[in-house]
Amino acid sequence: MARSLARPPKTVDLHAEAFIGDLDSYEIDELLAESLDHLREMLDAAIYWGYPEIKFIHGKGKGILKKLVYEELRYYKSTGSISHYHPSYQNEDIVVVQIGV
């Protein structure tokens, strides 16, 4: 059986400039929504491919993206889709998501 989702990278940058070409045509709230969509897409693909973990770079800034990322991960954890998540021990701008139980 062929897999329909592409394999995601093991570390995903959620900053919009990493995956959107023309940032000028977006408002800030649209960029945040795109970043969350990207997180969902990559996390769903990692779950699909059976990754034990995946890392997401949310950065520092004002902490808006980080807050939204952690809210989304709380939802995934509450549904049982992921085991747990925590800031990276090497870099607090990265969250490590443990998928397997």
Q: What is the pLDDT of residue 101?
A: 60
Q: What is the pLDDT of residue 64?
A: 92
Q: What is the pLDDT of residue 61?
A: 74
Task: Kindly list the distances between the CA atom of residue 82 and the CA atoms of 5, 16, 61, 97, in Å, as whole numbers in the listed order.
Answer: 18, 24, 26, 7
How far is it, in rounded angstroms, from Cα 82 to Cα 53?
9
Q: Give the DSSP H/E element, type plus range, for residue 96.
A: strand 94-98
Q: What is the pLDDT of residue 97?
A: 97
How far is it, in rounded angstroms, from Cα 101 to Cα 91?
24
Phi, psi of 68 (to 5 degrees): -65, -40
Q: What is the pLDDT of residue 35?
A: 96
Per-residue pLDDT of the chain (101 residues; tens, 9 = 90+): 456 789 999 999 999 999 998 888 899 999 999 999 999 999 999 999 999 999 999 988 788 999 999 999 999 999 999 999 999 999 999 999 999 76
Task: Kindly list the distances between the CA atom of residue 7 and the CA atoms of 4, 24, 54, 57, 84, in Å, as whole numbers in the listed order.
Answer: 9, 29, 11, 18, 21
